[in-house]
Amino acid sequence: MPVGSQDKVNVAPIDGIRLAAVASQIRYANRLDLVLIEIAQDSTTVGVFTQNAFCAAPVRIAKHRVKHSASRYFLINTGNANAGTGPEGELAAVACCDGLAEIASASSEQILPFSTGVIGEQLPFDKILVALPGLYEALSADAWQSAAQGILTTDTRTKLASASFTVESSQTSISGFAKGSGMIRPNMATMLAYVFTDAKIERPLLDKFIVNAVKNSFNRITVDGDTSTNDCCMLVATGKGSLVITDIDSDASKQFQFELNAVFEQLATGLIRDAEGASKFITIEVNEGASEHECLAVAYAVAESPLVKTAFYASDPNWGRILAAIGRAGLDDVDIESVTLALGDTLLVSKGAVDAGYSESAGQAEMDKEEIRVCINLGRGKASARVWTSDLSNEYVRINADYRS
């Protein structure tokens, strides 16, 4: 079960964006698994992609096309990753784009393919081609929920986020959705995410906006430390609204970045709340580091330790596991007497040992919570970093053991 209740998201439609989802039987019967997003002409599209060397065929195609053509459509399938499929995989992805191009009277180069699902199986592109006419006819400005549903794999619920706000008398909106529950440690990125705004922003600035937003959201989450072959995060500015941003240092730019980061963070933390088998939502804060890099090294050492994660699942205040993970994070010349460790408001460790005021009952009370905050102070500087993660449960093992069944 996901952690926490799911609040209803009132998604603000984005002028210039239409969406649709259908069931094309790619892997499962009668399940939404094929999504189309139509992007208005003269929009600006940027993206960041997985750094996995075995990236999927659609990733290679999309990375090339987003740089060299004006994107008009995103075509997304689930159930099959089209990764590890060799030249046949690229031919299959291109065939799907070609089929849509004919229906939509567009150039195939303007269509970006995306896939998620099982690795190493050839994409059944014939099923996609059959479904394309109905998918195109179903395009609607209001189909955000079905589109968000159509990109899910092992997820148990949709992840949507939206914000409408005023910048210098100009009303603008940002809306998006994402998927991902396992194989999550973005090295940009470990999931699929699609975010849209009606603001007018040219490519160089939009690139800066997405890099900043991803850094503080999707690149700060981990479920299992695995970077997927298929992941991407796309940001589209349709330019259909009244807000125009031309200066990255302007007040308007700073406000827009703040709102964009909030949308990205909501989507990213939504992935952790719905992580495979998760029963805990865990925030790890590392402060007083010599650099952000070493703060992140400590945060990820704790977040990805199987011993730490299983202790969280058991609600066991075994703080020694956390301390051991901090100690092996690779920091030079750590003064252990300067390190403090707390769960929530409960101080566990100070001066290199258990804090004099700590009690097992206080630690247990913190570990019994569904949402847990781990606070680590290194006593080495002024840098800080934050990472979100989940626990490691029997259900995570079951889901991944049975994934191809």
Here the CATH number for the domain that contains residue 262 is: 3.60.70.12
Q: Are 265 and 307 part of one and the same domain?
A: no
Looking at the domain assignment, is residue 2 inside a domain?
A: no
Q: What is the pLDDT of residue 4?
A: 74
Q: Are 96 and 238 part of one and the same domain?
A: yes
Q: Are 179 and 288 part of one and the same domain?
A: no
Q: Give the pair of three-digit tokens for residue 242.
A: 């009244």
Looking at the domain assignment, is residue 223 inside a domain?
A: yes
Looking at the domain assignment, is residue 124 inside a domain?
A: yes
Q: What is the pLDDT of residue 18?
A: 98
The set of catalytic residues is 190
Q: What is the pLDDT of residue 399?
A: 79
Q: Are 288 and 264 part of one and the same domain?
A: no
Looking at the domain assignment, is residue 1 inside a domain?
A: no
Helices (H) and strands (E) in the chain, counts: 11, 18
Q: What is the pLDDT of residue 188?
A: 54
Rg of the Cα trace of the chain?
A: 22
Domain range for residue 322?
281-401
Pairwise CA distance, residues 21 & 23, whole Å = 7
Last residue of a domain, one of 273, 302, 333: 273
Q: What is the pLDDT of residue 276?
A: 84
The string of DSSP codes covering 266-298 is: HHHHHHHHT-TT---EEEEEEEEESSHHHHHHH
- Read off the pTM: 0.94
- Residue with the two structure tokens 């939009």: 206
- Residue with the two structure tokens 């719905």: 274
Looking at the domain assignment, is residue 7 inside a domain?
A: no
Q: Are 297 and 266 part of one and the same domain?
A: no
Looking at the domain assignment, is residue 80 inside a domain?
A: yes
405 residues of the chain, pLDDT tens digit each: 688 777 788 999 999 999 999 999 999 899 999 999 999 999 999 999 988 888 899 999 999 999 998 999 999 999 999 999 999 999 999 999 999 999 999 999 999 999 998 899 999 999 999 999 999 999 999 999 999 999 998 888 999 999 999 998 999 999 999 998 776 665 655 579 999 999 999 999 999 999 999 999 999 999 887 777 888 999 999 999 999 999 999 999 999 999 999 999 999 999 999 988 899 999 999 999 999 999 999 999 999 999 999 999 999 999 999 999 999 999 999 999 999 999 999 999 998 899 999 999 999 999 999 999 999 999 999 999 999 999 999 888 887 887 775
Do residues 223 and 185 touch, judged by C-beta distance below 8 A? yes
**DSSP H/E element including 68:** helix 57-68
| Domain count within the chain | 2
Q: Are 137 and 244 part of one and the same domain?
A: yes
Q: What is the pLDDT of residue 8?
A: 81
Last residue of a domain, one of 225, 247, 273: 273
Looking at the domain assignment, is residue 226 inside a domain?
A: yes
Q: What is the pLDDT of residue 228?
A: 78
Helix (H, G, I), strand (E, B) or coil at 236: strand
Q: Are 244 and 334 part of one and the same domain?
A: no
Do residues 307 and 228 touch, judged by C-beta distance below 8 A? no
What CATH number should be reported for the domain holding residue 345?
3.10.20.340
Q: Are 172 and 94 part of one and the same domain?
A: yes
Q: Give the pair of three-digit tokens for residue 220.
A: 């700060």
For the chain, report the end-to-end CA distance as a whole number of angstroms.
20
Q: Is the alpha carbon torsion for 228, 323, 280, 6 positive or negative?
A: negative
Q: Are 262 and 285 part of one and the same domain?
A: no
Q: Are 125 and 196 part of one and the same domain?
A: yes
Q: Are 312 and 347 part of one and the same domain?
A: yes
Looking at the domain assignment, is residue 257 inside a domain?
A: yes
Last residue of a domain, one of 237, 252, 273: 273
Q: What is the pLDDT of residue 127?
A: 97
Q: Are 254 and 335 part of one and the same domain?
A: no
Q: What is the pLDDT of residue 227?
A: 73
DSSP β-bridge partners for residue 255: none
